[in-house]
Amino acid sequence: MNITAVRVASFNEIKEPGQFVLDMLYPADNLRDLTPEELEQHAGQGYVKYQEYPPDDSAIIGKFWTQAELEAVANGPVATGITFLCPCGCGAIGGIRFNQFGRPGSAWTWDGNKDKPTCTPSIQRTEGCRWHGHLIDGVFVPC
Ligand SMILES: [Zn+2]
């Protein structure tokens, strides 16, 4: 069954299958150099800066930046991917990245449409329901 992809403003607003957020990467002004320990621990991953997040309820306390990410946001925020509630109704969260910025993993092509995105190639969840389909002009179309 085709499911319309509906963009919502924040992750917490994702309630219905097919709803999604556009993941954004914002320029940061609180970046610091890596410590010698961090450089050693993450050697070979291409990290050049670290950003400490303000304390909150999240378990995520900061972000390592790659040079490619720094260059990507040089002129402002960039969309980096889509996070969505699985269109099959299983309740799982899925996501695809438009660019891995030097990290391992797959990247999808995005047509730039923020409300009715088209992404290629097809999307397949690698666990759980293993939903497989396409996101075309803002509609999740199962294979
Ligand atoms: Zn599913």
pLDDT in tens, 94-113: 999 999 998 889 999 999 99
How far is ligand 1, taken at its centre, from the CA of residue 57, in Å? 27
Amino acid residing at 111: D
CB neighbour list of residue 39: distance below 8 Å, 6 or more residues apart = none
Q: Which of the four pLDDT bands, split at 50, 70 and 90, describes residue 47?
A: very high
Confidence of residue 65 (pLDDT cuts 50, 70, 90): very high
CB distance 87 to 103 below 8 Å: no
For residues 107-132, average pLDDT: 97
Asked whether 124 and 135 are in contact (CB, 8 A), the reply is no
Distance 127 CA to ligand 1 centre (A): 9
How much is the mean pLDDT over the chain?
Answer: 95
Q: Which two tokens stand for residue 59?
A: 């378990």
CA of 3 to the centre of ligand 1 (A): 12
> Please, which pLDDT band fits residue 138 given cuts at 50, 70 and 90?
very high
pLDDT of 57 higher than 90:
no
pLDDT of 59 strictly over 90: no
Tell how far the Cα of 100 is from the centroid of ligand 1, in angstroms: 24
pTM above 0.85, yes or no: yes
CA–CA separation, 103 vs 130, rounded Å? Answer: 24
- Residue 21's H or E segment, with its range, is strand 19-25
Question: According to the model, what pLDDT value does residue 64 have?
Answer: 95
Question: Where residue 58 falls among pLDDT bands split at 50, 70, 90?
Answer: confident
pLDDT of residue 54: 86
101 CA distance to ligand 1 middle (Å): 27
- What is the pLDDT averaged over residues 125-130? 94
